Structure 1
Amino acid sequence: MPDVPLSSDELDLFATQLVVAHGYPATRLFLSHPDVRLDGTTLWIPPGPWHITDHHNRRDAPAALSDPDVPGPDGEQVDPALTARWRAAGLLVDQHGRPIHPDWRLLLAHPRIGLPTGLGFFWRWGPNATADALVIRRTHGRPEVLLVRRRDLDKWALPGGFVDRTDACAQDAAVRELAEETGLGIPQPRTEVLLARRSPNSIMTLHAWTENTVVLVDGDPDYLADAPLTPAAAEVSDVAWTDLATARTMDMFDRHASYLALVAED
C-alpha cells in the first residue's frame, strides 16, 4: 500500500465531513492530552472515554474474522507475534502491543479530528483491506456507474467491502462484493486497479483503519446492458445505474464521489 501522506486540504475536508460512526464515542483522543507520549517506537496512550470496548459490528461474529487476542490486564493485550509483525512493517505500537495508525500525529493534532481507540468497527488490528468495484456501462453513448445505497447511512456508494482471508487479491474481492451486493456476476470480468490508498474515514480508530483499493471491473457490454440487478446483501437497500455526471455531484459515502474522477467521460 503506497504511503501517501495526507495533505492539509484532505484533513480539513475530512474534518468537515466527519460524522461519529454509530457505536463510537463522541469524545476523541487528541495529541494535546498530557499522557500521550512517544517513547522510541512505542506510543503511550491514556485510557479514557474515547476507547471502544464492544462495538456491535463484532458481536456474534465468527472467530475466524478476528485476529487472535491474548487477554491482558485490560483485555486488550495482543499476540506478541502480531506485535512483532507490525513493528517489522514499520508501524509504531502502543504499550499493549497494538498497532498505531501511520498518520496518528496528523490526526490526533487536528483540532477537529482526533481519534477513538480500540478495534471499533473492525475485526482486525491495524490495516483492514477493502476493495470497491467501479463498474461503468454506456447507454446511448452516456457513461453510467453502478451504485448501491448503503442501508446504515442511507447514502449511495460503489459496491465493495472488506477483503476476506479467502480472497486471492483485491481484484477478486471487488468482483465477489459486486456479485454479493448487486447480483451482477460478470462472466470473465476484466479488472484493473485504479487506486490503492489509506484514506481517513469515520470508522477508523487509532488502532484499526482501512486501506482501500478501487478496482475497475469491466465485462461484456451486452451483459452490462441487460443483466438484472438486485440488492442482494443485508447492508444494501437499493442498486441502480446512475449517470456518471450526476453521480459526481451526489453526496456519496466516504470518498466514493472522488473515485469517479478516475474514469474519463468519453
Structure 2
Amino acid sequence: MKLARLGSPGQERPVVVLEDAVLDLSSLTPDIDGSFLAGGGIDAVRDAVASGSLPVLEGADSLRVGAPVARPSAVVCIGMNYAAHAAESGSLPPERPVIFFKPPNTVVGPDDAVTLPRGSTKTDWEVELGIVVGRRTSYLDGPEQAMEHVAGFVVADDLSERTFQLEISGGQWSKGKAAAGFTPTGPWLVTPDEVDHRALGLRSWVNGEPRQDSSSRDMVFDVETILWDLSQYMVLEPGDLVLTGTPEGVALSGRFRYLTDGDVVELEVDGLGRQRHAVHAYEAAAR
C-alpha cells in the first residue's frame, strides 16, 4: 500500500494511492503522522479500501506532493553505510553504525525546490532508503524484532553541505545536514509487504546525467540491524524517519561538481517512487 499527502505546505490531505485511483483518507484521519501510525491507521486504511468506503480525490494529479509523513519528532541518519561510499569519502567501513541527526524542518516534499544554504559551495546529493517507524521502539532484544516496528519505506535525499559538515563541523556532521528543506522525502510511504527492502535499487541523476546506481543489498548494516542498534541508545517514536546511508556516486568523491543554482536532482528507489527537485541559490530564493 502507498500512502501520501497532497496539497500546499501545511494543508496536505492524506491519501492512499492505488493503481487506478487516489482515495481521500480525510474521513479516517486528519493527517498521516505518528499518532495515525501508532493507532493502527494502516490497518484501518486497508479495511476501508477493501470495503470501498473511501472517496476518490478528484484532481489529485494537479496537487503538490508533500512528505508522506507529517513532521517527525526525529530524523536519525546512518553514515558511511555503503562500503564504496565510505571509500570515496576516504574512510574504511565502520565497525558499528555511525549516527547523526537532522532537524525535523529539513523534511519537505519530494519535488519541492531546494535552496542552497547561504555561502554554500559544496552542497551534495545523497539518495537513501528511509525507514518510517510505526511503533515506539526501545531496547529491541535483537534484529529479528525490528520489522515489527516498521510502518514503511520512503525515498529520501540526504542533502549535505560538505564544507559545513567536514571542515567547520567541530567534530560532528550535523552542521552540514541541517539546512531547512535538506531532506526531500517521498513521494509515498510504501508498506513493507510491497517491497523487498533487502534488494532495492537506488539511483540518482543531476541534470539528467547518472550519478548513483546501487542496491540496498550493498549496505554494511541492514535495516534490521540499524533499528536494533538505534534502539539500544534512544527511543524511536511512531512517525520518526531513519535514513540508512547513501551509496557511492556523490560530489564528495571528486568525480562530479557540487550543486549550483539551476541544477535539477532526480532520485529513485525501486518500488518507492521518484523525486525531482530544482536547486536555487540562496540569494535567488530570498528575492
Between 1 and 2, higher relative CO (CA 8 Å, sep ≥ 6) is seen in: 2
The structure richer in strand per residue is: 2
Q: Bigger radius of gyration, 1 or 2?
A: 1
TM over 0.5, shorter chain: no
TM-score by length of 2: 0.26
